[in-house]
Structure 1
Amino acid sequence: MKLMTLGASALLLASTAVAQADNWTAYTYSSVSTTSAVKGMNRIADRVAEETGGDLEITLHLGKTLQIASADITQAVGDGIVDMAADFFFSGNVPIARVLNLPMLIENDEEWDKAYAAIEPTLVEAFAEQGVVLLGGYRYPEQTIFTTFEINDLADLEGHKIRVTSPEQGHFIEEFGGAPITLSGSEVPTSLERGVIEGVLTASAGGAKNWHEFLPYNYRFAVNYGNSMIIANADAFEALSEESQQALRDIVAEEGPATTAAFLEDEEAQKASQSEAGMTLIEAAEGDAEMAGEQLAPFWEEWAEQNGPDYVTALQTVRDAIGK
């Protein structure tokens, strides 16, 4: 009887240990496993499993493998449909975060770092309102202009249809006489072939990596930056042990910047590769950046005022941080 009791106790302890292990489902908008974005998320999953001794296991699903629309990723995390995600299309759910993506506001890597550090507490609160913990993120290289037509300055955008990924990018295109069109990434190749669009705003290491054969011209004018947020469901995160929470935060804090660095390295490689394949890379015309910055500055203020006092404060926080 005593042996049976000990055996039952051992079995109970073993089953309790198994029950304490957390198995998370993660999702990314990217459907291509070879991108720096997916590689970074896979490193996070691998490291978390190793550094928590298996207490937290994360299974990553690529874009389109789950029934989650790109624009609904943050909501899906908040609702607990998935436990964790990398979300590039978060702005519909957390629109105040778009302050980082306003055209011509942030113009280089140094400004981005200062702006993000200043606005991060605001972003943490905004994502928390969606039932989400903001763990960190990464950004793409500058979004430049890829076209099917010859382009030598911003004036050449007039009359052309350009695919954008945000209302703010759309305003930029309209400012220079173009027609902004919003399409999913999967629609871009056929839309370029059929003339539905005549260009896109993206990075060489971003969309252009897949669409370069349709885009013979690249005007190297930095319109804005695009970034992804790495987020977790608040309830799932709180249910983790303190050790697992800290490990996850620490790993994302390292792998987010590492993903950004990988994108920047890939940007240079893709520029060279695309040029060798026949794409014409045109440097930004002298004076275009200064002119565009002056022309877009009133829009920043309109954007903030139309959205309310919190947005006015957010914009001022970023402008103070970068001295604009």
Structure 2
Amino acid sequence: MTLKTLGAAALIALSTTVAHADNWTAYTYSSVSSTSAVKGMNRITERAAAETNGDLTIDLHLGKTLQIASADITQAVGDGVVDMAADFFFSGNVPLARVLNLPMLIENDDEWAKAYAAMEPALVDAFAAQGVVLLGGYRYPEQTIFTTFEINSLADLNGHKIRVTSPEQGKFIEEFGGAPITLSGSEVPTSLERGVIEGVVTASAGGAKNWHEFLPYNYRFAVNYGNSMIIANADSFAALSPETQQTLRAIVAEEGPKTTAEFLVDEDVQKKSQAEAGMTLVAMADGDAAAANAKLAPFWEAWAKENGPEYETALATVRAAIGK
């Protein structure tokens, strides 16, 4: 266990070996209570208490309120530091799931639904190997490009430093001459002010909801999709009664898609609000989609081959599901 997760264990007085079946601690990477992500998790905790008649209560902690780094959330849940979490930064611990985030592979809501359904059994197994039960999740709107400089096509990324949230997003930026930089969300505002980065790949209802004042341009090109997994410690979950397990699964199965739907609504609201506040929203240039597909399709195959047969199978599974 890392020092950070050890600190969290001390902070919340939980043992990594003793699971609490009826009084859980949950954590989310999001530190903003007004986001659809946090609202969705709050609904889950409220419904769990109500629908189990108090047999399961869940105390939700927002991002940065526990000493758990975003990249350590999967491990913290697997180790029992917390019993449950919304985990956006799971790819380091469950890299197979990154197949869903490959740039230009999944290009619309229908493709996402088909791809996720096809991959879900493999994802359940991959999280189980980390001591974690995958209960469900939710998806952010399309990840587009927000910049401090004028941008009218992907060619304008050349020579600029762009914050990304995965190596796959980084590959996209590199293909168009940009320099990808990985930073935590809390580092983004000051990094934009200081010129450490000159843009971000995010959603209007995601990071741009908090950072829009630093980003006068938004190029409406969908690079990829980002998603969060809702996960539970395997021992904590096993200690629940079968009835409570079923109830929790049912709640997450309803609230995950509801959170996704709320993000899509909020995306339109934020786009309008950001435009009214002075942000320039730029439509995708003719030819950019074709150029991006031509550049990134070979990367999908190289990515899978480099990582091994399991990844090649995952990529083939997704491509078959979406007919691509």
- Which interval holds the TM-score relative to the shorter structure? over 0.9
* Residues 69-127 of structure 1: CA deviation (Å, up to 9, x unaligned): 00000000000000000000000000000000000000000000000000000000000
Report the 3-state secondary structure (helix = DSSP H, G, I; strand = E; otherwise coil) of the residue aligned with 1:92. coil
* Residues 167-223 of structure 1: CA deviation (Å, up to 9, x unaligned): 000000000000000111111111111111000000000000000000000000000
CA distance in 1, matches of 2:301, 2:21: 49
Structure 1 residue ranges (4+ consecutive) displaced by more than 6 angstroms after TM superposition: none
1:114–1:321: 8 Å Cα contact kept in structure 2?
yes
CA distance in 1, matches of 2:312, 2:205: 33
In structure 1, runs of 5+ residues without a counterpart are 1-19
Cross-structure match for 1:149: 149
For 1:37, give the aligned amino acid.
A
Paired positions, count: 305
For 1:221, give the aligned amino acid.
F
Identity of aligned residues (%): 84
Q: How does 1:305-316 map to 2 (within 5 A)?
A: 305-316=305-316
Q: Tell me how far 1:287 sits from its aligned partner.
A: 1.6
In structure 2, runs of 5+ residues without a counterpart are 1-19
For 1:23, give the aligned amino acid.
N
2:151–2:219: 8 Å Cα contact kept in structure 1?
yes
TM-score by length of 1: 0.93
CA distance in 2, matches of 1:255, 1:166: 26
Please report the RMSD computed on the Cα atoms of aligned residues, expressed in angstroms: 0.8
Cross-structure match for 2:68: 68
Cross-structure match for 1:176: 176
Cross-structure match for 1:98: 98
2:143–2:201: 8 Å Cα contact kept in structure 1?
yes
For 1:307, give the aligned amino acid.
N
Q: Tell me how far 1:21 sits from its aligned partner.
A: 7.0
CA distance in 2, matches of 1:291, 1:101: 19
For 1:306, give the aligned amino acid.
E
Q: Tell me how far 1:290 sits from its aligned partner.
A: 1.6
Cross-structure match for 2:128: 128
* Residues 146-185 of structure 1: CA deviation (Å, up to 9, x unaligned): 0000001000000000000000000000000000001111
Q: Tell me how far 1:28 sits from its aligned partner.
A: 0.2
Report the 3-state secondary structure (helix = DSSP H, G, I; strand = E; otherwise coil) of the residue aligned with 1:237. helix
Cross-structure match for 2:32: 32
* Residues 39-82 of structure 1: CA deviation (Å, up to 9, x unaligned): 00000000010000000000000001111000000000000000
CA distance in 2, matches of 1:290, 1:229: 31
TM-score by length of 2: 0.93
For 1:87, give the aligned amino acid.
D
Cross-structure match for 1:208: 208
